[in-house]
Amino acid sequence: MIAIDNIQQYLINKLDSISSIGEVPVAAAIELNGRVVSTAWNSRETSNSPISHAELLAIEDATRILGRWRLSDCILHTTLEPCPMCMAAAQQARLKKIIYFAKDVNRGAISLKLNLHNNDNLNHKIEVEYSENELASKKLKAFFHPRRSK
C-alpha cells in the first residue's frame, strides 16, 4: 500500500496517459485508512473486454492485495461517475464509500437514478460523494470531441 496525499490529483494526472493509448480516460483507486491499496484505469480497448472498467479493475486488484472480497472499510475514488455495472460491483464488494469527480448524465448509475448504492431492498448501502473536478470533465470532453465530430 502506498500513501498518496491527494488521491484526486494523482488520478487526474493519469488521464492524459490513458487517453494517449486510446482508452477512455477514467482512473480509479481504492483507499484503506488513508493509503492507496490499488489503482487502475479503463482498458477495454487494449484488453478487448467490455468489463475492463477502471472501477472494476481497482476493486479486483484490492481484493487480491487484501486477500478478502469484502471491502467494507474501503473507499473507491474514481474520475467518472460509476456506470450501473461498476456500481453493482461496488455494492457486491460492500464498499464503504464512493467519491467521483465528473458526472456521467447519460450512463452514470446515480444520474440514471438506479439507486444501487442506497436501495432498501439490498443488504448494503454505500455512501456516495460527488467531488466536482472540472479538469476530469474537460479531459473526458477533449477525448470524445474529435471522435464524435467525425
Please state whether beta strands 27-32 and 74-78 pair in parallel, antiparallel, or not at all (unpaired).
Answer: antiparallel
Question: What backbone phi and psi angles, to 5 degrees, belong to 14?
Answer: -80, -15
Q: Phi then psi for 35, rounded to 5 degrees?
A: -125, 145
- Catalytic machinery residues: 55
| C-beta atoms surrounding 24 within 10 Å | 19
pLDDT tens profile 9-61: 999 999 999 999 999 999 999 999 999 999 999 999 999 999 999 999 999 99
What does the pLDDT average to over 59-73? 98
**Span 82-115, pLDDT tens digits:** 999 999 999 999 999 999 999 998 999 998 898 8
Grid cell in block for residue 55:
472501477
Assess contact for 144 and 107: CB atoms under 8 A: no
∠ CA 123-129-135, rounded to 5°: 140
**pTM metric for this prediction:** 0.93
C-alpha cell at position 131: 467531488
